[in-house]
Every structure is written in structure tokens, then in C-alpha cells.
Chains A and B, each alone.
Chain A
Amino acid sequence: MKKILIVEDDMAICEELVELLQNNGYEASAIRQFTNVREQLLLASADLILLDINIPGLNGEMLLKEFRKESQTPVIMVTSRASEVDEVLSMSLGADDYITKPYNPTILLLRIAAILKRTEYNGEVLTYRDLVINLPKGTLTKRTEGGNSLNGETELSLTKNEMLILQTLLNNRNRIVKRDELMTVLWDNDEFINDNALTVNISRLRAKLSDFGYPDAIETRKKQGYLLLEE
């Protein structure tokens, strides 16, 4: 489980952030005392740090600069000060991303996932039961008994939208994914589709999965979202 450290002085935000991250499969912890923050950051050995710029008695930018001398742990700067000057400064000091409050929680999660993926390459091939999903090629392949022998019938190509939906469901196995989350992911990839189109895309994806013998792979939960069934 990836460990994320939160540096945020507003307790309300802090608690909600911890909850958000834990709900999404991260191990989240927050700094409680704002003395010797640099040492705490170094000792925490987190996989990613969410760092608020404006913490009383603490200069987020200076802290980042000092921290970068000793560690390459990815840092996302979070701030309520929306100005280009601050953003450029933060990025030049070695921040990996810069997000202004109030942020869309789904977007925050996407950014975190993107950075963690960037820092630790975990292959571009995802699997679902005996299906292999090849992201760069955009294909769905059935793993046959003999290993990697393929014939034309066991490979199907997915559209970009279908791929994004499947990928999101796969990254959130065992959890209900809300329509809004799927929508955010699609829009974040410049696919500005509407509600009906999402429904259509999901039924197409279902049809393709049922071609491989998994007609009930995606379960609809009324008013909640979708769930990818493992067994």
C-alpha cells in the first residue's frame, strides 16, 4: 500500500483528506506538530507528500527547497493562493505538481495516481481474470491455455472511452465506482461526453466483455455506480 503524508494545518481538511485517501486504498497519515517538519518528512519515508504552502510559521517553498536537497520523494504542493508566480516558483523548487484549493477530490486522486505511476513504473498491462488489457495498444486479449499463443478471435480492440472506463474500474477493484468518477476521468482525458454517451459506452464495454464469456463482469448498483466483479 502506498503511503501518503499530509502536511496541512487545517484540521477539518486534514481529517477529510485522510479519509478520502484511505477510502481509495492509500495509507494516509498527517503531520500533527509543525516543528522540525523537514525531519518529520524525511523520517516518514512516504511515497508521496501533500504539502500545504501556507502553514503558520513555516514557509512551504523554503521547506520544499530544503527537503529536495535530501530526498526525491514526490511532492504535490497544495495552496489556496492561486497565482502563476507561486506555481512557477514551486515547480522550479522541485514540486511534482501544484493544486489550488478548493480542488476536485477525484482530480486530486488522479494526480496522485499519475505521479505514483510516473515514479514507479509498474507496467502498462493490466489483467482481469484471464483477460489481458494492453493499454498502449488499446486491446483486450484472452490468455489461452498454452500461454501466449494468440489467434485473431481472442483479441478485441477497445475505444479510448471504453479503455478509460475499464481501466478506472480495474484500478478500483472491490469498490463501487460512481458515474461521476468515471465522468471525471473521461473529461480529464478530453473526452467531453454526456450522460447518455457514458451509458452507451458502458453497455458496449459490457458487450465486449460478454464476448469473452463475462456477461456479468460490470454490475450496476442503482444510484451508486458500477462494480467490477472478480469472481
Chain B
Amino acid sequence: MLLKKYLKDKLFVILFGTGIFIVLFMLLVAFKVPASLKTAFTLIFWFFLVVSIGFEYARRYRFYNELKNNLDGLDQKYLILEMLERPDFYEGQIMTDILYEIDKSMTEQVKKYSLNMEDFKEYIEMWIHEVKIPISSLVLMCHNHQDALDKKYISQIKRLDRYIDQVLYYVRAEHAEKDYRIKKTDLKKMVHNVVMNNKDDLLETGVNLKLGELAQTVVTDAKWLEFILNQIINNAVKYRREDVEPEIAVWTEKKDYLVLLHVRDNGIGIPQNDIGRIFEKSFTGENGRKHAKSTGMGLYIAKNLCRKLGHGIGAESVAGEFTDIWIGFEEEKD
């Protein structure tokens, strides 16, 4: 709270006071009172004016300054009311009362939305489990009646299933508190599951899969990590180059206190301008526009899940040569 601004605010009082002083002083002159009385009057008048303005200023200064300092130190600004002392001047009291009302109504509103979100999330999860049932029966039907049905059916159903999973993990990544369980997990088994899941696509597109040295175990949630790897492998298949034999290599590397899991393809790569943004929500970039359709959600969800699990994720790429996505796990402590 600046004194200058405060005084400007009180300009009317000051001008009015000065006006009264001038009128009274002229009266004193008119009544020819002795000079000493005039001096005393002047001193007393200005003394009271300055003290009253100063006192008011001091009270407000103390209150607003504390409020502002507290506010600056707060992460969630709306919590300021919790640490606000009720001021001893009337306007301040009105203001705090109003703030309380506003805060209460906002909290109620936010609560309403968060409950709505929670309901929606639950519904989506339920819906996904429900929609998986007809998908499973379609897969089984295709398998049982392979003579009549082409393999293309299965691949479309799989695509459907992948898109559905993307919604599931999006919801989980944004809201999950209890959905995951981090424990020592067999990395080979997870990679194996993901590869098996993508077997038809890999064979169809003629991708050469190279499994390198893999760390025994990492500390993670298996289902989540499998989803993340699935996204990465899907991208590697999707953005392959037609002029070379497509290849995907998967291996782990120890670096300082991290275990890095690499998934490297020899695909079209990512342009230098885009690489910093591939994990952003809805970012599609040049590849998304020119090559395959993209929602820009896959890697965003992957990163979000990694953040929750405490893993690092990053990318290295040269356009037209390769893309290498790595996930960093903290090394287990014995």
C-alpha cells in the first residue's frame, strides 16, 4: 500500500479540510484575533488532520500489507481467507464478509464440478468395461469363423480396442489416485505382452523387431507401462519409412542411477521444430498433418502416466532417420 496513492485517494478530505481551514482562518483574520492564536489554531488544525489521516492509513496499511504478503506466499490463492484476521475498520469488515461469501460460493461451485467430473470418470470407466465385452465376443467370433471372415476384421476391432484404451488411460492419468500399484515388475514380460498385442500389425507392415538386452525388473505398474509401450510401438509402426525395411529395437541401458528403456525405430523421425512439443496435449505437428492422422493424445497420455509413476520420458530423433523414445526408471535399491 503506497502512501502517495492513499493520499490521492483521500484528496477530497484533504481539499475539504484545506477549504475549511481557509474559511476559518479568514474568519480569524476578520475578527482580528492575536497572531499567537492564529498560529496555535493553524498548528492544531493541521496536527489533527495529519494525525487522523495518518492513523487511518496506518490501520489499513497493516491489514492490506499482511493480506498482500500472505497472498504472494500462497500457492492456492483462494485459501487466503483461512489466514485472514478480521480487520478493525468498517470497510475492511465489509470486504472480508463479502470475500467469505464469494469464497464459499466458489468452493461450492468447484465442488459441484469436481463431483460431476468424478461421476463422469466413473461412468467412462464403467462404459469402457462394458464396451470391451462386445469387442471380446467379436474377436472370438472372428476366430471361430475364420473361413468366412477376413483377418481385416480383427485388425479393425483391435484398432477400436486401442482407441478405447486411450480414453481409459486418459481418464486414469488425469484423475487416478488409487488405480495403480507400483511394484517390482518383470520388464521382459511386459515387453512380451506389448509385442504380442501388436503381432498382427508388425507382421502386416513387415517390421523387423529386435529385442536387445533387457533389465530384469523395474519398479512400475505393469498395466500402465504396457499401455505406454503400446503407444510408442504403435507410433513406430505408424510413422515407418517405406523406402527401408522398417525396424524397431527395444533395449535397456544403465545410466547413472537410472535404467533407460529405449524404443528406437528407423522411421520418418520428428522434425527438429516439433520434437520439443510431442508430449504436449493435442500436438500433432508436421507428421500428424502430412503422414498419418493423429489426435496428439497418445504421447501426452504416456507422459502423464509416466509423471504419476515417477518415470522420466524423452525423445531423440533425426527427421528422415530415426526416433528413439526412452523411459527412465529409477534403479531399485536393495
List residues of A whose CB falls within 8 A of some B CB: 10, 12-13, 16-17, 19-20, 23, 54, 80-85, 87-88, 101-107, 178, 180, 183-184, 187-188, 190, 192, 194-195, 224
Contacts of A80 in B (CB 8 A): 128-130, 132-133, 136
B144-A20 in contact (CB<8A): yes
Q: Which one of A188, A192, A224 contacts B211 once the chains associate, using CB atoms below 8 Å?
A: A192
Instruction: Name the one of B132, B137, B183, B223 contacting A16, with C-beta atoms under 8 angstroms.
Output: B137
Smallest CB-CB separation from B141: which chain A residue? A16
In the bound complex, do residue A84 and residue B129 qualify as a contact, i.e. CB atoms below 8 Å apart?
no
Whether the Cβ atoms of A101 and B132 lie closer than 8 Å is: yes
* Given known A-B contacts A16-B144, A20-B140, A104 and B181 have beta carbons under 8 A apart: no
A-side contacts of B128, CB under 8 Å: 80
A-B contact count (CB 8 A): 92
The reply on B104 being an interface residue by CB < 8 A is no
CB atoms of A83 and B223 under 8 A apart: yes
User: Whole-angstrom distance from the CB of A168 to the nearest CB of chain B?
Assistant: 15
Distance in Å from the Cβ of A222 to the closest Cβ of chain B?
A: 13
The residue on B at minimum CB distance from A78 is B136
A17, closest chain B residue (CB)? B140
Residue interface bits B171-212, CB-to-A below 8 A is 1, else 0: 000000011110100000000100110010011001011010
A87 touches B223 (CB 8 A): yes
Contacts A178-B146, A188-B196 known; 12 new A-B pairs at CB < 8 A: A13-B137, A13-B140, A80-B136, A83-B179, A84-B222, A85-B179, A88-B183, A101-B135, A102-B139, A184-B199, A187-B196, A192-B202
Are A187 and B195 in contact, with the CB atoms below 8 A?
Answer: yes
Please tell me if the beta carbons of A85 and B181 are within 8 angstroms of each other in the complex.
Answer: yes
- State in angstroms the CA–CA spacing of A101 and B129 once bound together: 9
Q: Which chain A positions have C-beta within 8 A of B202? A: 192
| A13-B222 Cα distance, complex, nearest whole Å | 26
CA distance A188 to B133 in the complex (A): 24
A19 to B, closest residue via Cβ: B144
Instruction: Sample 22 A-B pairs with CB under 8 A, ordered by A number.
Output: A10-B133, A13-B140, A19-B144, A20-B140, A20-B143, A20-B144, A54-B129, A80-B128, A83-B223, A84-B221, A84-B223, A101-B132, A102-B157, A105-B140, A106-B143, A178-B146, A183-B199, A184-B199, A187-B195, A188-B196, A192-B202, A192-B209
Residues of A within 8 A of B224 (CB): 84
Residues of A within 8 A of B133 (CB): 10, 13, 80, 101
Any A CB within 8 A of the CB of B103: no
Selected from A10, A13, A187, the residue in CB contact (under 8 A) with B199 is: A187
User: In the assembled complex, how far is the CB of residue A16 from the closest CB belonging to chain B, in whole angstroms?
Assistant: 4
- What are the residues of chain B within 8 A of A10 when measuring CB–CB? 133, 137
B 15-54 binary contact with A (CB < 8 Å = 1; else 0): 0000000000000000000000000000000000000000
A90 to chain B, nearest CB (A): 13
Instruction: Determine whether B151 belongs to the interface, using a CB cutoff of 8 Å to chain A.
Output: yes
Among B137, B139, B179, B206, the one with the most A-chain Cβ atoms within 10 Å of its Cβ is B137
* B206 partner residues in chain A, CB cutoff 8 A: 194
C-alpha gap A103/B178 in the complex (Å): 25
Chain A residues positioned under 8 Å from B221 (CB to CB): 84
B73 within 8 Å of A (CB atoms): no
- Among all A-B residue pairs, the 7 with the closest Cβ atoms: A16-B140, A80-B132, A102-B136, A105-B143, A101-B136, A12-B137, A192-B209
The verdict on A102 contacting B195 (CB below 8 Å), with A81-B129, A194-B206, A194-B208 known, is: no
Q: Take A84-B221, A178-B146 as given contacts and tell me if A104 and B139 are in contact as well, using a CB distance cutoff of 8 Å.
A: yes
Q: How far is the CB of B36 from chain A (nearest CB, A)?
A: 91
Q: How far does the Cβ of A145 sit from chain B's closest Cβ, in whole Å?
A: 43
Is A192 within 8 A of B181, CB to CB?
A: no
Which one, B139, B157, B161, contacts A105 given CB within 8 A?
A: B139
Among B220-273, those with CB < 8 Å from A are 221-224
Shortest Cβ distance from residue A72 to the other chain B in the assembled complex, whole angstroms = 25
A101's closest neighbor in chain B, by CB?
A: B136
Q: A84 to B151, Cβ gap below 8 A? A: no
> What 0/1 readout, one digit per residue, does chain B (137-157) give for beta carbons within 8 Å of chain A?
111110110110001000001
Q: Which residues from A are CB-within-8-Å of B196?
A: 104, 107, 184, 187-188
Complex Cα spacing A84 to B179, Å: 8
Q: Is the beta-carbon distance between B203 and A195 smaller than 8 angstroms?
A: yes
A13 to B137, CA, bound (A): 5
- Assembly CA distance A105 to B144 (angstroms): 9
Q: Which residues of B contact A85 (CB under 8 A)?
A: 178-181
Across the interface, do B135 and A102 meet the contact criterion of CB distance under 8 Å?
A: yes
> Is A23's CB under 8 angstroms from B180's CB?
no
Contact A82 B223, beta carbon cutoff 8 Å = yes
What residues of chain B lie closer than 8 Å to A19, measured between beta carbons? Answer: 144
**Which chain A residue has the least Cβ–Cβ distance from B200?**
A180
